[in-house]
Structure 1
Amino acid sequence: DIVNENMFGALRLVSVQQGYDPRDFALVSFGGAGPLHANALGRLTGSWPVIVPPSPGVLCAYGDATTCLRDEAARTMVRAFSDIDDGELRTALAELADAASERLSSEGVSADQQTATYQVDLRYQGQGFEIPVDLDASALDSGELLSTLGSAFDAEHQRLFSFLLKNEREVINLRVTVSGPRPEVAFQPLEDGGDDPSAALITTNDVWMDGQYAKAGIYDRSKLLAGNVVTGPAVITEMDSTTLVLSGHTATVHRSACLLINPVGTDDTHRTTRLQES
């Protein structure tokens, strides 16, 4: 419980304290030990479903093997909005994009396969920190580049801190990331197996949960099929990780082989539908 509360504090730093309500999001668990705590953290944050991807212990390796090549260029430009115009800002961003694109081309990624994304760090004059603002590529061709950035900065400042100032805004840093295509990865959906997970049941064992012993099913994740519903308390084992399903919760196997953990009786159809569509 103490470890879970410490993790909950870390999650609050990137959700509540950034102006986001964790109940509006699902919680994705990864790492060898992450799925042991995921259900408890879902309960603390109210984030459902808790998603445990297949082979969560090697998820970082999967990401490294399937990510796209990219190059980033950045420049510091401490200038008040009144001291810079759209043309100067547009030229600086284009120069950064060209530099990143040239380096990426030298890695074998042709220019027609590259995509550029833009970000500008802004602040009020006198402020001791900056707020990164994403800039859509189409805004570069508009005649109101600074106005677009200013509006986006105001919206983000209002979301983060619930107030705005009348101070003049400043451009601090420019950043352009140029990315190549993402490698094609074949999707292999799981075979449909209905809601009965008994074919994957290895044994049952006593576990200490919520202040008392309870009988928990021990399941082999590699034998679970799409649609199987594992009711907690349960332990789902695999080569690189172990998932704990608490009492009063179920883990439904998605066709992508992800486990979707929800409290019993929770209607999370809308989120599950979004997962099916993606």
Structure 2
Amino acid sequence: MTAPQARYRLGVDIGGTFTDVLLFEEGTGALTALKVPSNRQDPEEAIISGLTTLRDRHGVAPEAIGYFSHGTTLGVNTLLERDGAEVGLLVTEGFRDLLELRRLRLPQANNLYAPRPQALVPRRRVAEIRERIGHDGVIIREIERADVVEKARGLIEQGADNIAICFLHAYRHEDHERKAKAWILEEFPDAYVITSAELWPQQREYERGLISVINGYIGARMRRYFATLQSKTAQLGLTTRIFSTKSNGGVMGLDAAGDRPVETLLSGPASGVIGAGFVGRLIGDDKILTLDMGGTSVDMAVIDGEVPYSNENTVGDFPVLLPAVDVSAIGAGGGSVAWLDAEGVLKVGPRSAGARPGPACYGRGGVEPTVTDAYAALGIMTSILGGEMELHIDKARVALATLGDRLGLSVEETADAILQVATANIYAETVPQLARRGVDAHDFSLLSYGAAGPTHSFLLARELNLRRVIVPPMPGLLCALGCLVADLRADFVRSLWHDSRDLTDAQLNATYDQLQQDATAWLDAQQVEVAETRIIRSADICYHGQSFELNVIFPDGPISREQIETLFHDRYAQVYGYADRSSPIRVLEARLQIIGQTPKPDFTDIRPFSPTARKDVTERRLYENGQDGVAKVYQRAALEPGFTFEGPAVIEQYDTTIYLPAGFRAEIDPWFNLIGERLS
């Protein structure tokens, strides 16, 4: 009799340099890891390559995979590189310059000559519709089908077959937007039409219209990618449903992601923070500073009990109001290029060498020195992918020598200077993040991941007064792990903008009841079995006259106006140290998040993955922090819980290289995490 086929869960994170593939066997808990070079033109090809390798090298047939979730940078890269689809925008008459006026704020407040960000939709492709609904829902001017169809035809004739609609006050009264969409699709069934109210019904016309435009701008490419991915994986024999991670740390099916691709913009960084939070809960540490250092950028987040969220995210030149995991990014990854500015000052990033040609030490034609070349020249790294890819140290030295000659430094001194500048860049971003949240670095552990995070984390810890450094068993694939453990999650909003004294308890509870109905319908439509459903209700509230608001989370059960006022004052006092409890407050946005908690794999024995059985301990000469030294070189997969050692040391594993400088001690904990602390 044929043995029952094993079931697997697959998590994939498509990064700018590598695509990380993490396979979990549900029966045994065994993990298999792969890193495949990303293909920016055809991102699905990296996934196909990973699935083929799993089948041919590890004997895992695609049909044995029962769960598959992945994150991709395709949407955000399309937006940042401005090579998306042609989009047309329909607005209320008189608001044609919505995208040009923005918020009338200078992008750089201290620079009167800063260039104005270019709108995604040029003014010629913005059409005005003769319609108007007042804020109270009274129709001031009825919308006409002929006007809508005529304007839509003009946009489509210009090549804009993706049409966004944003009418005044549609966040509260969407009848005109809904009619316009229906009329356009009746006349032009092949067009893609999105309304601002169905996507994100929040007050603030510019931001609401911009989200709709972004959704159309990246939508064509995303839908084409999703369709190609489903087709090619099906040809390989994959039968399970494919999920995409979202900016808010949740997942949704590809059909929903194709309709609302704007929700996936920050899915990659969000997956990493979700994975970091999972590791923190596993070991009982809820104060985590995350450091995700990949080949292109460094992403940072502060987990203080809960994964942080923000409703004011910025992607490139554009504000994105959709809730997302609160992550800050800087261009200082392992592939970041070192260069000299006009004054001869050494800079690192934000430009990256990418995967091809990549750093000079990759031997793929790169000639500019990068952070990875600095690691190689100093002796910190000699190979990657568990020895599958040897680094060309000689080519790294040649690239560094070209820069060093201009600085008057040796190759080693130049490489050391590059690491110091990269560390300073990360430090300069970290300190404001901690200050903004009012937290003390000493109370937090630094959890590092990404291909280069563990290589650089102790260099940063040397500058910050951090409690300890945590390197999870598979740090280079933590974003893929985040894809595996992410829950179904969706956010819903209704704009109120009322004085709290003008709101009745019945109005408040009716608003949240409607939001919960919408959320439950969304979760049911995903057709996924969940272990538990959670509802989180909150509101954005401010004092009268304030320009910025606080998000206040409410307890379960019916809510009263008095409760909201008390909760806001308490939250305000917590953040600012003072609250004026006699001042009136305004309730701006009612928010609800639904979480469908998916069954979690048992990750209590996450051993570092190793394609080989090497257990040898060697020594290697290196130069760092201005000093020569000899470091012991360990194989991570051979380190058992309870093993302790001191720096300088290099720990090699398949998905990363860990550098433990002198002055630090490390221990392997019961969950196979490497825990590093400063020697007293």
Aligned mates of 1:7, 1:230 — CA distance in 2: 27
Question: Retained in 1: the 8 A contact 2:530–2:597?
Answer: no
Question: Retained in 2: the 8 A contact 1:105–1:111?
Answer: no
Q: Deviation digits for residues 102-139 of structure 1, max 9, x if unmatched?
A: 110121246983211112111111111111112221xx
Q: Deviation digits for residues 72-120 of structure 1, max 9, x if unmatched?
A: 2111111111111222112211211111111101212469832111121
Aligned mates of 2:628, 2:433 — CA distance in 1: 34
The corresponding residue for 1:174 is: 590
Aligned mates of 1:243, 1:27 — CA distance in 2: 14
Show the 5 A alignment for 1:230-241. Answer: 230-241=645-656
Structure 2 residue 474 is matched with structure 1 residue 55: yes
Change (3 A) 1:109 1:115: farther
Change (3 A) 1:112 1:250: closer
Aligned mates of 2:666, 2:531 — CA distance in 1: 43
Structure 2 residue 624 is matched with structure 1 residue 206: no
The corresponding residue for 2:314 is: none
Question: Which letter maps to 2:514?
Answer: E
Change (3 A) 1:201 1:110: closer
Change (3 A) 1:45 1:163: farther
Question: Retained in 1: the 8 A contact 2:529–2:598?
Answer: no
Q: After TM superposition, give the deviation of residue 211 of structure 1 in Å.
A: 2.1
Q: After TM superposition, give the deviation of residue 264 of structure 1 in Å.
A: 1.9
TM-score (structure 2 length as normaliser): 0.36
Structure 1: segments with no counterpart, 5+ residues: 192-198, 266-278
Greater relative contact order, per chain length (Cα 8 Å cut-off, separation 6+): 1
Aligned mates of 1:27, 1:152 — CA distance in 2: 31
The corresponding residue for 1:268 is: none
The corresponding residue for 1:141 is: 558
Please, what is the CA RMSD of the aligned residues? 2.2
The corresponding residue for 1:254 is: 669
The corresponding residue for 1:131 is: 550
Aligned mates of 2:672, 2:456 — CA distance in 1: 19
Q: Which piece of structure 1 moves more, 62-71 or 102-111? A: 102-111
Structure 2: segments with no counterpart, 5+ residues: 1-419, 608-613
Question: Which letter maps to 2:558?
Answer: D
Q: Which piece of structure 1 moves more, 18-27 or 108-117? A: 108-117
Change (3 A) 1:86 1:15: farther
Question: Retained in 1: the 8 A contact 2:541–2:549?
Answer: yes
Aligned mates of 1:187, 1:29 — CA distance in 2: 18
Show the 5 A alignment for 1:17-96. Answer: 17-96=436-515
Q: Which piece of structure 1 moves more, 10-19 or 255-264? A: 10-19
Q: After TM superposition, give the deviation of residue 225 of structure 1 in Å.
A: 0.6
Q: Which piece of structure 1 moves more, 113-122 or 152-161? A: 152-161
Aligned mates of 2:465, 2:481 — CA distance in 1: 28
Q: After TM superposition, give the deviation of residue 259 of structure 1 in Å.
A: 1.0
Show the 5 A alignment for 1:109-120. Answer: 109=528, 113-120=532-539
Q: Deviation digits for residues 140-165 of structure 1, max 9, x if unmatched?
A: 335xx333333333333333333334
Aligned mates of 2:583, 2:676 — CA distance in 1: 47
The corresponding residue for 1:11 is: 430
Aligned mates of 2:530, 2:597 — CA distance in 1: 11
Aligned mates of 2:666, 2:530 — CA distance in 1: 45
The corresponding residue for 1:107 is: 526
Question: Which letter maps to 1:227?
Answer: G
Aligned mates of 1:20, 1:146 — CA distance in 2: 31
Q: Highest Rg: 1 or 2?
A: 2
Q: Which piece of structure 1 moves more, 32-41 or 104-113? A: 104-113
Aligned mates of 1:147, 1:219 — CA distance in 2: 60
TM-score (structure 1 length as normaliser): 0.83
Determine which of 625, 642, 645 is the counterpart of 1:227: 642
User: Percent identity over the alignment?
Assistant: 26
The corresponding residue for 1:264 is: 679
Q: After TM superposition, give the deviation of residue 47 of structure 1 in Å.
A: 2.0
Aligned mates of 1:25, 1:60 — CA distance in 2: 21
Question: Which letter maps to 2:666?
Answer: A
Aligned mates of 2:511, 2:443 — CA distance in 1: 37
